[in-house]
Amino acid sequence: MKRKAILLFALLSLYGIIASAQADFQKGLIILNSNDTVKGLIDLRSSKFNNQVCRFKESKKSPIQTYKPNDIKAYILDVGKYYVSKVIDIDGVIDTVFAENIIDGQLSMFFYKDKDFSYYFFEDESKKPIYVSNKKVFTYGNDGRKYIKDNITNRGSLVYYLSESQETAQKVNKITLNQDKLIPIIKEYNEVVCPDKKCTVYAKKIKPVFSMGPLLGYNKNTVYIIRNGYILNEPAISNSMQYGVSGEYTVPALSKGLFVSFYSAYCKNKLQYGSKTSPSIIEYNNLNFNASVYYCYQHYRLQPLAGIGISVATTFGSSKRYSTVSPDNSTPAKRTMYAPTISAGLKFKINKKIYLKSYLETDFLQTDIRYDKYFQTVSSNINAFFGVFVNL
């Protein structure tokens, strides 16, 4: 029942967190058509979403206002996103969108994503805008097989666009189409062609965050013994302390609340089964490895989180199975167990570098473990962990 309660709690937490975390309001401002600015919070989601709409509120408790590209001139987020209302013409289709302004200079660079493709487009005061897209195309190799490759459309037009600096222009032929490669080229072009005009790069590179910390935990291992095809009536239960180390990896540019967590923890289990007067004992040193994907709702210092993952446990050292009647006559108790896991808990942010994490984790699928062909088990675990983490 406890295991089912934890599973239900984790599933509800995961659903609630992800549902509420669809919106990610960041500090920023909007520029009205009157050129007035209003500071507040702006919902930062995918490029596809932010190219179409701006969801804004002046404070955390204010109602959300939704702006379309014709309603305001631009909106800016402190994290390094600047969206400008622009009329675009792609393949003869004219639309007004919020284009992300990557670079502002003699030659400005913008980014736009529709339901099918991503586009970079470039504007010069004296030239017609051009659009460049890295569309997937099909091709056939010498072996007659069909392949998919990247094809930068209008690459030649971009080279011509940059022809005032031939050295810079030729670099376009050697790159793949992404911001990291395009930004230094367009910045270099502006500095060569128009050194007196300021070139502003609005896009900020958000670095991944890696954190580590020690874990102190509790493990409840419930094992159902199967002998000769029959499950023994009473399960064997072990309650143990466990100790470990954990790391977490977050890529804020992809998702502020999504992160990957992994840990390794050690505990010593002792299981008793069979006759109460002369029980059998399983003792093993257990090393558990886990990798999980979490979502954390990060808008407050106390942050709920939930995740799913995979756990692998293995025995090592002096692990054995024996009867209390003849304890010297033991059998090696080697096992390897793997199972999907689900977990839920809380983070508490102490400052920008240090936070506390406490969570419950359980297997949500039981796994068969064989010690030999006549003796197997069905095992489940409940883990409770507490850790102190430091952002490196």
pLDDT at 215: 95
Determine, yes or no, domain membership for 279: yes
| CA-based nearest residue to 386, from 217, 213, 211 | 217
**Same structural domain, 153 and 223:** no
**Same structural domain, 150 and 230:** no
**Same structural domain, 213 and 197:** no
Boundary of a domain, candidates 139, 173, 201: 201
Per residue in 309-334, pLDDT (tens digit) is 999 888 777 766 666 656 666 666 66
Per residue in 350-391, pLDDT (tens digit) is 988 999 999 999 886 555 555 555 566 677 889 999 999 999
Cα separation, 382 vs 366, whole angstroms:
12
**Domains in the chain: how many in total?**
2
List alpha helices for the chain, DSSP H.
2-20, 47-50, 155-161, 166-170, 179-193
pLDDT at 356: 94
pLDDT surpassing 90 at residue 261: yes
Average of pLDDT values for 38-55? Answer: 89
**Same structural domain, 44 and 128:** yes
Beta strands in 251-366 (DSSP E): 258-273, 280-296, 302-323, 331-332, 336-349, 354-363
Cα separation, 225 vs 274, whole angstroms:
9
**Same structural domain, 35 and 139:** yes
Determine, yes or no, domain membership for 254: yes
**Same structural domain, 239 and 159:** no
Determine, yes or no, domain membership for 8: no
| CA-based nearest residue to 223, from 384, 2, 377 | 377
Q: What is the CATH number of the domain that holds 237?
A: 2.40.160.20
Per residue in 209-255, pLDDT (tens digit) is 899 999 999 998 887 777 666 666 677 788 999 999 999 998 766 66
Number of H helices, E strands in the chain: 5, 23
**Same structural domain, 248 and 196:** no
Range of the domain at 310: 207-391
Determine, yes or no, domain membership for 43: yes
**Same structural domain, 298 and 382:** yes
**Same structural domain, 184 and 226:** no
Determine, yes or no, domain membership for 7: no
* pTM (whole model) above 0.75: no
Per residue in 159-216, pLDDT (tens digit) is 888 888 888 888 888 877 778 888 898 899 988 888 888 888 887 777 788 999 999 9
Q: How far is CA 358 from CA 2, 20, 160, 215, 361, in A?
A: 18, 21, 57, 9, 10
Boundary of a domain, candidates 158, 184, 201: 201
* Identity of residue 334: K
Alpha-carbon Rg for the chain in angstroms? 29
pLDDT at 322: 62
**Same structural domain, 211 and 247:** yes
**Same structural domain, 221 and 317:** yes
Boundary of a domain, candidates 163, 183, 201: 201
Cα separation, 219 vs 217, whole angstroms:
7
Cα separation, 336 vs 368, whole angstroms:
10
**Same structural domain, 224 and 187:** no
Ramachandran category for residue 153: left, alpha or beta (phi over 0 → left; psi -120 to 50 → alpha)? beta
